[in-house]
Amino acid sequence: MTDTYHAATGRYDSMTYNRAGRSGLRLPPISLGLWHNFGHERPWQRQRDIVRRAFDLGVIHFDLANNYGPPPGSAEENFGRIFAADLAPYRDELVISTKAGYDMWPGPYGEWGSRKYLIASLDQSLRRMGLDYVDIFYHHRPDPDTPLEETMGALDAVVRAGKAQYVAISNYNAEQTEKAAAILRDLGTPLVLHQPSYSMVNRWIERDHLLDTLEKVGAGCIAYSPLAQGLLTNRYLNGVPDDSRVRTSRFLNEEQLSDTTMTKVQALNDIAARRGQSLAQLALVWALRDPRMTSLIIGASSVEQLENNIAALDNVELSDAELAEIEQYATE
C-alpha cells in the first residue's frame, strides 16, 4: 500500500444512508467505532488500513470519545494522525463524533456533565484530532448531580461556538432522554441521536421503550456493542482464545459465557448458518430490524473483520419465521 491515499471512486455505489430522526443528518447503517482497537498498543498502520477501507466502503461515520484508547485520549490522537495523512481532503464527506462524560483528568472537573468539563473536554478532543469541529458531540452518560439544564446548555453552547454541528446523548434512559430533548428543543439546538447499548443479549431499550421516545422527540438511535463485545460472534463457540476480549478487557468476562448462554449463542449461530451468514452478521441484521435504528457502531481489529461485518448489509431481510425463531434465543 502506498502512502498516498485516494478514496475509492465507487465508495457510495452500494452503501445506503439512514436519516437520524427528523434531522438532516444521515448515517450508514454500520458505523466504525474506535473504542477498543485504536489505542497506542495497536499498530498504527493497521488502524490506518481499517479506517481507509471503511471509508472506501462508504462508511463515512467514525465514532470516538475522549476516553477511548487505551490510554484515554489515544484513539483520538491516532485518528487525528490518520485524518491528517489520509482523510483531510474528504472532511466535508465525513461524520466524526466524540463524547465526554467519563473520567479524563484529576479534580472535580475531569468527568460527568458540568459546563466547564464538557467544553474543556471538547477543546482537548479537537486538539488531539487536529479538527476545527466535530460533527456530533455527545454527553456520554447522565450526571446525577449536575442540573440537566447546565449539561444541555453546554451542548447548545458548543454548537453556537462552531465546535460541533449536532449534539447527542448516550446511556440515558427514556425518561432522561425526553427531558434532555425538551431542554435542547427550547434552546434551539435539537437532539439528533441517542447512543445506547443494544444487542440480542442486551435488550433494555425495548423494556424502556427508548425507540418510542426517540421517535416522539425526533431523534435517531445508534447502538453500540451490537455484537455484545464479541459474544455474538464465532469467537467463543469453541472455548476462550488467549487474545480474546474475555482475556484482555473488563467489558466481557467468563461468567457471561455460561453453558446456558453459549447454548443460545450456538442456536443463533445455526440460524445464521442457514441464512448463509456468520453469527455476527445475523446479530447486526437483527439489531437493524427496526427502521428507527439509524446505525450500529462496530469495532474492528482487522480489515477482514470490518469487511465481514459490513457484508451483513447484503442480506438484511428477516422473515417472520426467522424472527420468531431468533426470539427463542435472543434473551438476556
We report the CATH number of the domain holding residue 154 as 3.20.20.100
Q: Residue 1: its pLDDT value, please?
A: 47
- Find out whether the peptide bond into 28 is cis, omega within 30 degrees of 0: no
Query: Residue 291, Cβ neighbours under 10 Å: how many?
Result: 9
DSSP 290: S
Residue 176 lies in a domain: yes
- CA–CA separation, 323 and 53 (whole Å): 32
Residue 163 resides in a domain: yes
Regarding beta strands 26-27 and 164-170, do their DSSP bridges make them parallel or antiparallel, or are they unpaired? Answer: unpaired
Q: Which single residue is written with the C-alpha cell 471503511? A: 54
Q: What three-state secondary structure class fits 109?
A: coil
- Domain assignment of residue 312, yes or no: yes
Q: What number of CA atoms fall less than 13 Å from residue 298's CA on the CB side?
A: 32
Q: Could you tell me if residue 241 is inside a domain?
A: no
Q: Assess contact for 110 and 143: CB atoms under 8 A.
A: no
Give dist(CA 27, CA 248) in Å, integer: 31
The domain of 153 spans 18-234+287-316
Alpha-carbon distance of 121 to 104, in angstroms, equals 8
Which residues of the chain have a pLDDT value below 70? 1-2, 238-257
For residue 249, the model assigns a pLDDT of: 54
Count of domains observed in the chain: 1
169 in Cβ contact with 182 (< 8 Å): no
Structural domain contains residue 240:
no
| Alpha helices per DSSP H over the chain | 44-56, 74-82, 115-129, 148-160, 174-187, 204-207, 210-217, 245-248, 259-274, 279-287, 303-310, 320-329
Q: Are 134 and 156 in contact (CB under 8 A)?
A: no
In a domain, 272, yes or no: no
Amino acid 260: pLDDT: 87
3-class secondary structure per residue, 176-187: HHHHHHHHHHHH
> Given this model, what pLDDT does residue 258 score?
76
Amino acid occupying residue 218: G
Residue 305 is assigned to a structural domain of this protein:
yes
Which of 140, 292, 266 has its CA nearest to residue 205?
292
Domain presence at residue 121:
yes
DSSP assignment of 119-184 equals HHHHHHHHHHHT-S-EEEEEE-S--SSS-HHHHHHHHHHHHHTTSEEEEEEES--HHHHHHHHHHH
